Structure 1
Amino acid sequence: MHTHTGKSLFKYALTAKNTFILALIMLAIGVAAELAGPFIARTMIDDHMLAIEKPFFETAAAGDKTVSYDGRYYKRGDRFADGEARGPEARVLQVGKSFVFVNAAVAEISGDRSFKDGVLTFNHNGKVTEYPAQKLTASEVFAFYKPEVPGIFTLVSWYFVFLAISIIMEFGKTYWLQSSANKVIQKLRMDVYAHIQRLPVHFFDNLPAGKVVSRVTNDTEAVKDLFIAVLSNFFSGIINMLGVYVALFLLDVRLGLICLFVVPIIWLWVVLYRKFATKYNTIIRSRLSEINAIINESIQGMSIIRIFRREAQTKEEFENLNDDYMKHQNKMLNLNAFTSHNLVNVIRSFSFAVVLWYFGSAQLTGAGIISLGVLYAFVDVLGRLFQPITGMVNQLAALDSSLVSAGRVFTLMDEPGEPVTDGSMPRYKGNVEFKNVSFAYKRDYVLKNISFEAKQGQTVALVGHTGSGKSSIINLLFRFYDPQKGIITIDGQPVIDLPKQWIRQHMGIVLQDPYLFTGTIASNVSLGDERISRETVQKALEDVGAMRILSHLPKGLDEPVVEKGSTLSAGERQLISFARALAFDPAILILDEATANIDTETEALIQSALEVLKRGRTTFIIAHRLSTIRGADQILVLHRGEIVERGTHEELLALGGRYYQMYRLQLGAAAEAPEATGIAMQPAVNRI
C-alpha cells in the first residue's frame, strides 16, 4: 500500500476543513446532549423518586414544598432554608410494595426490612433494630411525592430539550460530514483524471485501460466510503467514547478507571485485524481492476474473439479472475464474521461482570455503596460505550478496503507526470532537424545516429519494414519520448527546451486507424476547441472532399458519432480525421499511412485532399504503399534503426538498393504475378 496514504488523505480533507470542523463541533454537541440523558435520570431517581426516604422534619408553616399528614406539616430536610426552624424528625420508608411512616429519627436504613403489627424491623448483618410505624395509604404516599412532581416535570422537559438538540446536531453532523466528503472526492477524482492527462504516453503501454478506469471510478468511490461512512462512524465513535468516559469518571472515578481496559483491547483488535485485512483487500482491489481490464479488452476486441472462436477461452480467463476475487471476498467475510459482534459482546459482558463484582463485593463489606441513581446512570452510560464500538467494528472492513483503494489512487498520482505549462508559442515555420539522434525504449537502441533535415513545406516520407524505427521517429517528434543521444530542433530551437504542450499545439496527425470520440461529426473535427468555429469545421470538411461523402447523413455535421465512430465507414472516419488536421492548421503534419485502409475510389479523393492538407506545412508520411509517396521531397529508408538510403523517388530507384527492391516487390512483381504479390505485400501493409 502507498506509504503516505494517511497524510495524503489528510491533505485532501483539509480542502473542506471548514465544513469538517463544523460537522465535528455539531457531533461533539450532539454527543454531550445525548449523554445528558443518564445524568437527568440519575437526578430524577436520587433527588426525587428515591428521595422520599430522606429525613423529613415537622414545620409550622404550609408551603408548596410541605406535606400535610395527620394534621401536621412536614418538609424534606434538604429543603429547609438556612436558619429555618425544624421540628421533630420523621421518615417515610418503603417495605416491599408498601410505604410506612416512622415518627422518629432512624439511624440506619440498610439491611432487610419487614413490617408487622405496627412495628418496622431492620436486620443488618444479624443486628436487629425496631421502630413503631404506621402504614400509609396510596393517597398519603402520593401526598409525600407531590412536592417532587414539579422537579420531575422540569427534568423531563430538560430531557426533551437535550433530545431535540441531539436530533438537530445529528442531522447537521451527517449533512456537513457527507457534503465535505463529496467535495473531497470531487477534487480527488478531478485531480486523478487531470494527472492521467499529464502522464507520459509510455505509461499506458504497460497499464491496461480497464485498470486505469478502475482507479478513477471504483477506487475513488471506495475512498468516498472512507470519508462518508468510515470516518463518520470513527469520528462519532471516538467522540462518543470520550464523552462516555468523561461521564463514567463523573459518576464514579473507580469504575471509570476499571472500564479503561476497553481502549487497549480495541487498539490491539484494529492492529491485528488490519494485518490480515490489508493483505486480502489488496488482492481484492487488484482482481477488480483486472476484471475491469478484461471486460474492457473483450468489448474492444469482440469481433476478433468471435471470428477466432475464443469465447470459451475468454470466458475461462474471466471466470478464473472472478473465482479468485470471490475466494478472497469470502476470506474477508470469514475474518469479519470472526472478529465483529462476537468480540464486542464478550467485552460488553466482561464489563458488566466487573461492575457487578464491584457492587457485589461492596455490598458484602457494607462499604462504598453508591446510590441507585448512580448505578442506573452508570449501567446506561456503560451500555452507550458499546454502541460506538459496534459502529467502528462494523466499519473496519470498509476502513481497510478504503485505505487500500486510497493507496492505489495515490500510487497512480505519484507517477511522474509531464509538467503543464500555461500559455502558448507563436506558430513556428516547421523546419525540423534530427542531429545524431539515438533512442532506446528500454536497453537496445531502436534508432541509431539518425540525422536528417525537413524544411518548411517539404514532404518527408519514412519507409522500411516492421521494426525499422519509423514510428519511433514520430514519437520523438511529438516528444512522447526524448532521445538518449543527439538533438532534435524545430526552427533551430532544441525541442527539449520547449514545453511539450507548446510544441504539440502546432502539430497534427492522421492515423492509419483514426480515433473518433463520442459526440458529433462537428465535435470530432473541432475537438471542442472554442477557437475553431462551425464555419471552419464546414470549410475543412469541404476542402478534404468529405461533404460529398457525408451528405447522406440525416443530421449532417450534427450526426451523432458513437465510440470510435463504429457506425461510419473507414473512408468516412479517415476524411473526418483529415478535416480535423486541416481545421487545427498545424505547422507540422504527420500522416501515419493515412490511406492504407481506404478503398480505391475514396483514395483518389483523399489524394487530392492531401495536396490541400500538405500545402505550406512540413509533412512526415509513414508509408507502406510506396505508390503514395512518389511526390515526396525526401524519402528516408530505415533498416534496423538506421537510415540506409535517402533521396527522391527517382533517385532511390536509380540507386537500385533496398528501396528499389521494396518498390519492385510491391509494384513490379504485381504485374507479373498478381497472386504471388498479394501474398508478398502482406507484411508491407502492417502497421509498425
Structure 2
Amino acid sequence: MSPSAAAIARWSSTAAGTRRNGACSNWRPRLNPNDPAPQNERRAALALLLRSAMPEIALLKRASLWLVLAAALEAAGPALGKAFIDHYLLPRNADLPAIAGLLGGALVSGCLASGIRYGQLVRLAGLAMRSVQRIREAVYGHVLRLPMHFFDRAITGQLVSRVTNDTEAVKTLYVQVLFVMLDSLITLAGMMAMMAWLDWRLMLIVATLVPAVFGIVWLYQRLSAPAVTRSRALRSDLNAQAAESIAGMAVIQASGAAAAFSARFADTNAAHYAARHDELRANAWLLRPALDFLNVAMLGAVILVFSQRSGAGLSALEVGVLYAFVSYISRVVEPLIQITMQFSQLQQAMVAAARVNTLLDEAETLPAQDHGEVGDGAISIRQLDFAYLPGRPVLHGIDLEIAAGSFVGIVGHTGSGKSTLLSLLLRFYEATPGALLIDGQPIDQLGDAAFRRAVGLVPQEPFLLAASARENIDMGRGLGDAEIEAAARAAFADGFIRRLERGYDTPLGEGGARLSVGEKQLIAIARALAGEPKILFLDEATSHIDSETEGVVQQALAGLRGHVTVVAIAHRLSTIRDADEIVVLNHGRLAERGRHAALMAIDGGLYQRLVQLQQLEALDEEEDEQ
C-alpha cells in the first residue's frame, strides 16, 4: 500500500544554516509549475479520488440506476413526438383521447426525468461533501504526522493552500463534474440507443460526433493542462507570499520593504493572470463554440441524407423519424457540450488532487513501538554523532550523563550544535541507534504516547492559539481546571491570568497578541508543566524576555529541581547560572562541562569568554540607555 493509500485508510531553528540546507534536501515539489502533471501523478490522483469515494460506492450505484431511468424517460419524449406526427398529425387523425395520452406521457416523462435528476444531484452533492471532508481530514492529519525535517523546507502558505484550496477544487470534481459527466454519459447512451432503434444508419452518422468531441477534448487538454498546472502552483505562491508578509509585517514596514514586497507579489500575480488567460483562451476556442459548430454540421448532414434518400418527397414515416432525429441530435450534442465544458473543472480538480496526493506521499514519522515507559527521566548520551547530510557532521562523539531531577544547561556559539542536540533528544530527527537513552532504554524504543507524555518543551518563540488562557495551557489534552491552574501557579502565570477580565477564560488574541512577550513565555511554561513531564526541555526560552520575567522563570525552574529533569539551551547565560551542570559545545563537540564557578575558573576558557562577552554587551546597552 502506498503512503497515500495508508493515509486514506487511517486517515525555527537556531542552527539555520545546517538544518535548513541539509535536513530536508531530499524533498522537492513534484509538480513543476511550468509543466502538466506527469501521467503517474494523474493516475495517483485518480486513485485518491476513487478511494475517498469508496465508502459511498453503494450510493453512487443507486444514483447511477436512477439516472438511467431519468435518461430513459427523457429519451421517450422525441419517440412520443414521432408517434404523434406519424399517426395523428400527418394522417389528420383527430383521436383526442390518444393525442391527450401522448401529450400527457411526454409531460409526465419530462417532469419525472427532471425530478429524478434533481434528487440525484442532491445525493451526489452529499457524497461529494463527505468525500472531500475525508480528504481534507486525511491531509491535515497527515501533515500533523510528518517529520520535523519536512517543515524545515516546506512553505507554510503552500501547505495551507493544499489543505484548503486544493481540497476545495476536488469538491468541484464531485459536485459538478461527477454529476454532469455521469448524467451526460448515461443520457448520451440512452439517446444513441433510441436513434439506433429508429434508424441505425442515421445513428451511425450522429455517432461520428463522439470521436470528433474526443479530438477536441484531447486538443484542449494538450493546450490547457500546462496553464492549469501553472496557475494552481502560482496561486499557492500568492498564498505563501501573503502569509509570509502578514506574519512579518512589522519588519517589512520598519525596513521600508513594502514596495519591494508589493512588486514581488505583483510579478507573481501577473504570472498567475497570464496562466489563467491562457487557460480561458483554450476554453473559448475549443469548448462551446467548437461543439456548437459540430451541432449545426451534424444537423445539416442528417437533413442532407434524408433529402437524398427520399428523392422527390418525404413520406409520413420519414417526417416523423426526421423530427425525432432533429430532437435527438440536440439532446445528444447538449450532453457532449456539458461533458467538454466540465473538462476545464476536471483539469483543475485533477491538478489539485495530484498536488494533494504529492503531499500525502510524503513519508510520515513512523511511531515507535510501545516497548517502554519513561521512569525517573535520566538521560544518557553515548558517543553521539549526527549529520544532516553525509560527510557533513554536525555533532561529534558527544558523551553526557544527565541525572534524573537535575538541571543541566547547554551553551555555545551559534552553530555549535545546541539546537541539533535538542532536536535529537525530542526525536524530531533519528539519532544513531543506542546513542540516546532515557532511564537506560534506547530513545527510539519508547512508545510515542509514553514519550510525549513524559517530555515537555518550552520553545524560544512561544506558540499561542487564538483561544483562552485555559485552552492554551490545556492544548487539547482534556485537563481539569485544577491541573491547569496548578500548572499556571508553578509557572508564576496564575497572577496575571486572574487579572484578565475573564480570568482563565479570556481570549488571548491571535498569537497571544494581548500579552507581553514574557507573559506568553510563562503561558508556554505552564502548558509544558500541565502535562506533569518527567523531562523538560527549554530552547532559549529566556532570550527575548526582560530581566524581571527571567527571574520569575528562574524561580519556576528552581521549584522543579529534584522533581523534573530540566535541560535548558540558553543564550542568556544568567538563566543557567545555578544549573547542576553546564555543558559547553563548540563546533559540535563537547568542549567544557561543570558548574558555573568551576567553568569561570578556567582561564581563557570558552564559557568564561561567553560570560565576559555578555557582560560587555550588557554594559554597552546600559551606556546607550543613559
Per the normalisation by structure 1, the TM-score is 0.81
Match of 1:496 among 423, 439, 444: 444
Task: Kindly provide the amino acid, as one letter, of the partner of residue 312 in structure 1.
Answer: A
Q: Distance in 2 between matches of 1:172 and 1:506?
A: 54
Rg larger in 1 or in 2?
Answer: 1
**SS of alignment partner, residue 636 of structure 1:** strand
Cα distance in 1, alignment partners of residues 102 and 235 from structure 2 = 56
Distance 1:576 1:405, change over 3 A: same
Equivalent position to 2:62, from 22, 26, 42: 22
Please point out which of 182, 188, 193 is paired with 1:235. Answer: 182
After superposition, the Cα gap between the structure-2 partners of 1:316 and 1:614, relative to the gap in structure 1 and judged at 3 Å, is farther
User: Within 2, Cα distance between the matches of 1:454 and 1:209?
Assistant: 36
The match for 1:508 is 456
Q: 1:80 aligns to what? A: none
Which AA in structure 2 matches 1:34?
Answer: E
- 1:519 match: secondary structure: coil
**Contact 1:421-1:501 at 8 Å conserved across structures:** no
- Which residue is 1:49 aligned to? 89
Letter in 1 for 2:331: R
Task: Find 1:183's aligned residue among 130, 135, 139.
Answer: 130
Residues 96-136 of structure 1, C-alpha deviations (whole Å, 9 max, x = no match): xxxxxxxxxxxxxxxxxxxxxxxxxxxxxxxxxxxxxxxxx
Contact 1:461 1:620 in 2 (8 A): yes
Alpha-carbon contact 1:26-1:172 (below 8 Å) kept:
no
Question: Is 1:461 the equivalent of 2:501?
Answer: no
2:376 is matched with which residue? 429
Partner of 1:102: none
Q: Compare the two structures and name the one with the higher strand fraction.
A: 1
Q: Give the AA of the match of 1:270.
A: V
Aligned in 2, Cα 1:369/1:420: closer, same or farther, shift over 3 Å? Answer: farther
Tell me the CA shift for residue 272 of structure 1: 1.9
- 2:135 equivalent to 1:203: no
How far is the alpha carbon of 1:368 from its aligned partner?
A: 9.4
Structure 1 partner of 2:251: 304
Distance 1:232 1:381 in 2: 21
Deviations 1:135-193 (A, max 9, x none): xxxxxxxxxx44x2221111122222212321220121111111111110010101011
Alignment partner, residue 268 of structure 2: 321
Is 2:514 the partner of 1:597?
no
Residue pair 1:438, 1:485 contacting (<8 A) in 2 also: no
Match of 2:8 in 1: none
* Residue of structure 1 in register with 2:16 after alignment: none
The answer as to whether partners of 1:248 and 1:382 remain within 8 angstroms in 2 is no
Q: Secondary structure at the match of 2:208?
A: helix
Residue 469 of structure 1 deviates from its aligned partner by 0.4
**Which of the numbers 207, 214, 221 marks the counterpart of 1:274?**
221
Q: 2:486 aligns with which of 539, 546, 569?
A: 539
Which one is further off, 41-50 or 238-247? 41-50
The match for 2:511 among 564, 569, 579 is 564
Q: Does 1:451 align with 2:491?
A: no
| Cα distance between partner residues in 2 of 1:420 and 1:625 | 35
Q: Is the 8 A contact 1:478 1:503 kept in 2?
A: no
RMSD, matched Cα: 2.1
Q: Does 155-164 or 301-310 show the bigger shift?
A: 155-164
d(CA) in 1 for partners of 2:599 and 2:306? 106
Q: Contact 2:382/2:400 (CA < 8 Å) preserved in 1?
A: yes
Cα distance in 2 between the residues matched to 1:361 and 1:290? 61
Structure 1 SS opposite 2:601: helix
SS in structure 2 at match of 1:405: helix
Structure 2 partner of 1:11: 51
Q: Post-superposition shift, 1:466?
A: 0.2
User: Post-superposition shift, 1:484?
Assistant: 4.8
CA contact (8 A) 2:498 2:504 kept: no
C-alpha contact (below 8 Å) 1:431/1:490 kept by paired residues:
yes
Work out the CA distance in 1 between the residues paired with 2:465 and 2:381.
Answer: 33
Is 1:406 aligned to residue 446 of structure 2? no
| Cα pair 2:386 2:396 within 8 Å, conserved | yes
CA shift for structure 1 position 419? 3.2
Paired AA for residue 398 in structure 1: Q
Does the 8 Å CA contact 1:440/1:483 hold for their aligned counterparts?
no
**Residue ranges of structure 2 left out of the alignment (5+ in a row):** 1-36
Q: Is 1:544–1:612's contact at 8 Å kept on the other side of the alignment?
A: no
Cα distance in 2, alignment partners of residues 296 and 7 from structure 1? 31
Residues of 2 paired with 1:498 and 1:678: CA distance?
A: 52
Task: Count residues in correspondence.
Answer: 582
* Helix, strand or coil at the partner of 1:644: strand
CA shift, 1:312, in A, is 0.4
- The 8 Å contact of residues 368 and 445 in structure 2, kept in 1 or not, is answered as no
Match of 1:476 in 2: 424
Which of 606, 611, 623 is the matching residue for 1:663?
611
| One-letter amino acid of the counterpart of residue 447, structure 1 | L
- 1:329-372 per-residue CA deviation (whole Å, 9 max, x = no partner) reads 11111111111222112211221122122111112288999521
Matched, 1:643 2:574: no
The reply on whether 1:338 has 2:285 as its aligned counterpart is yes
Compared with structure 1, are the counterparts of its residues 30 and 652 closer, same or farther at alpha carbon in structure 2 (3 Å cutoff)?
A: same
Q: Name the CA distance, whole Å, in 2 between partners of 1:421 and 1:24.
A: 45
Residue number in structure 2 paired with 1:675: 620
Task: Note if 1:294 corresponds to 2:334.
Answer: no
- Distance in 2 between the 1:561 and 1:485 partners? 42
Give the C-alpha shift of residue 636 in structure 1. 1.3
- Superposed CA offset, 1:367-400 (max 9, x none): 9995211111111111111111111222121110
> Secondary structure, in 3 states, of the residue corresponding to 2:389?
coil
Deviation digits for residues 448-486 of structure 1, max 9, x if unmatched?
111211121112211100000000011001111012576
Give the superposition deviation at 1:520: 0.3
When residues 273 and 40 of structure 1 are mapped into structure 2, their CA distance, relative to the original with a 3 A threshold, is same
Is the Cα–Cα contact under 8 Å of residues 522 and 537 in structure 1 kept in the other structure? yes
**Which secondary structure does the structure 2 equivalent of 1:448 belong to?**
strand
Written as runs of structure 1 = structure 2, the 5 A alignment for 1:385-396 is 385-396=332-343
How many Å separate the matches in 1 of 2:369 and 2:511?
30
In the alignment, does 2:185 pair up with 1:257?
no
> What aligned pairs does 1:125-140 form with structure 2 within 5 A after superposition?
none
Structure 1: state its 5+ residue gaps. 53-144, 680-688
1:526 and 2:474 aligned: yes
1:225-276 residue CA offsets vs partner (Å, 9 max, x unmatched): 0111111111111111111110110110100112221111122222221122
Which structure: greater helix fraction?
Answer: 2
CA distance in structure 1 between the aligned counterparts of 2:179 and 2:529, rounded to whole angstroms: 54
Describe the SS at the equivalent of 1:460: strand
1:39 is aligned to 79
2:368·2:444 contact (CA, 8 Å) conserved in 1?
no
Secondary structure of 2:363 counterpart: coil
Higher RCO structure, 1 or 2 (CA under 8 Å, sep 6+): 2
The change in CA–CA distance for 1:421 and 1:658 in structure 2 (over 3 A counts) is closer
Give 1:651 deviation, angstroms: 2.3
SS of 1:181 mapped into structure 2: helix
Question: Residues 369 and 445 of structure 2 are in contact (CA less than 8 Å); yes or no, is this contact kept in structure 1?
Answer: no
Pick the aligned partner of 2:523 from 568, 576, 588.
576
In 2, the alpha carbon distance for the partners of 1:561 and 1:285 equals 35
